[in-house]
Structures are given as structure tokens and as C-alpha cells.
Amino acid sequence: MASNPAPFERLALLASDTPRAQEACETLSRQGEWVPLEEADAVVVLGGDGFMLHTLHAMIDAGRVIPAYGMNLGTVGFLMNRYDRRNAIAARVARARRWSISPLRIEAITQDGECHAFCAINELSLLRETRQTAKIEVTVGDRVRIAELVCDGVLVSTPAGSTAYNLSANGPILPLDSKLLALTPISPFRPRRWRGAILPDRMKIILKVLDPAKRPVAAVADQKELRDIAEVRLAIANDIALTLLFDPGQSLEERIVAEQFVTG
């Protein structure tokens, strides 16, 4: 999966609206000639993980996805590289290793019957909207696996997102090339001992909200929220390849492995 093809000829530069990212953008803009995103072979993204997800989603929506090299000017920076204005950015991008990931494709139906289609790069979460616990029917493949999951919510995570909300909900960390999905309950009440499942990413998942009038549920896909959900259908979008660029020795795969040995 990791490779280093011919260097990119045309780079675009995008920055979040935070002061740190804007200051870095002004500095890097003097390091060479930049082109608009629609003309670029790759894009340099300045900000945090949230802005990287925003950029990737914007490219998916536009129907043109190019490799993205992130520089961390946010908080965690799991999807980003270290920011260093002393080294020429073009040289760093040229040396970067490529890692390809595919998002979840989601079809969500609201209580009023409207159908919405979108993607999630990290995870899709169903979350209760009120003090009432959610009741959700869980179907994997062609079988109902849990007729009634009583919980605060449930999430489906890709390997790239398995160290984010999924890990906070005590879900498993998935190797990047595992071709697996994590199905993780959030504060489950019944069945009390169910801790989730690890599933082949070729399997389709259906989450149906039970008693939605009394127990409304919202769907959150990365940064997109949709309320009053009746049902969501999920499957990996193998036809969409998102390419992230990392400095040598700092790949996303290595970060996922390293996260499992954090003790402090």
C-alpha cells in the first residue's frame, strides 16, 4: 500500500481559519508557486484532523480526489505530519509515502421518509437525542444479530477512525490494512455484556431505530449531523480511494500500532 511514485508537479495550499494555520499559510505561500485545488496534483492541508476531514469530504463531494499532505496546526493531528517551516514543503511532499483508505458509504432515512446519502471517513455514530435511551435493531449481512440494543448509541468505525471516538467508546483498534470494521456500542444497557463486534468490511450493516417517536436518534458522520433517523445502511465505499501522504517513518499504519502501546 505504501509507495513513492513520481513527484507531484502542482501543489495546492489550504489552511483552516485558525490564527496558527493562517500564519503558517502566509509563511509557506512564499516557498513556491501554488495552484488552485482544482488544478493541483496534490494538496497541502494546514490545520488539525477536523480540517483534514473537511478537505477530504469536500473533494469527495466535488468528484475529484487528490493526495493530501497534512501539517498539524491543530490538537491531536493523527492524520497530519509535524509542522516545520524550516524544511522546504515541496521536498517533504516529494519524499512522502502514500497510504490509501476508503470511507463508509451511508444511506440514512429520516422519520419523515427523506433519504440522504453521504460518506464517513472515521465513523458513523447513532446517538440518542433526549434523556431516553435509544433502542436499535442491528442487522449484519442478511441477518438480524441484535433485535433490540438498548444504549446511548452505537457506532461503525473504519480502521482509520478506530483510534478516535471508537477507542473512547472502548472499541478495538483496527490495523489499517485489516479490511475490517468495528461495530461498537456506546454505554450499552441491554444486552449488558455485549461489547461490540469486528466485521469484514465487505459486509453490509443496517441500524434501525425502534420507537423513534419516543426515543429519537441522530446520525453523525465525521462532521455531518442528521437528526430524527429511522434507519441507516452502511457499506465500505471501495470505489473511493483517499490518499494521505506521510513523512517517512510516520505513516498512519505506524500511528495506529503505536496508539496500542500508549500507557500514560
Catalytic option among 41, 49, 84, 228: 49
The predicted pLDDT at position 261 comes to: 78
Taking 70 as the pLDDT cut, the residues of the chain under it are 1-6, 263-264
Rounded to whole angstroms, how far apart are CA atoms 54 and 241? 16
Residue 254 Cα distances to 23, 49, 216, angstroms:
29, 17, 39
Q: Which domains, and CATH codes, for the chain?
A: 11-102+240-259 (3.40.50.10330), 104-236 (2.60.200.30)
Q: Exposed (0-12), middle (13-18) or buried (19+): which is 52, by Cβ within 10 Å?
A: buried
Q: Which helix (H) or strand (E) holds 24?
A: helix 19-28
* Angle at 83 (CA atoms; ends 55, 63), nearest 5 degrees: 15
At 92, give phi and psi (nearest 5°): -65, -45
- Cell reading at 24: 503558517
The predicted pLDDT at position 6 comes to: 59
Residue 229 Cα distances to 11, 57, 121, angstroms:
40, 22, 20
Say if residue 168 carries a ligand binding annotation.
yes
Say if residue 69 carries a ligand binding annotation.
no
The predicted pLDDT at position 5 comes to: 61
Answer left, alpha or beta for residue 9, where phi above 0 means left and psi between -120 and 50 means alpha.
alpha
Say if residue 116 carries a ligand binding annotation.
no
Active site residue 142: no
The predicted pLDDT at position 54 comes to: 96
Say if residue 166 carries a ligand binding annotation.
yes
The predicted pLDDT at position 130 comes to: 96
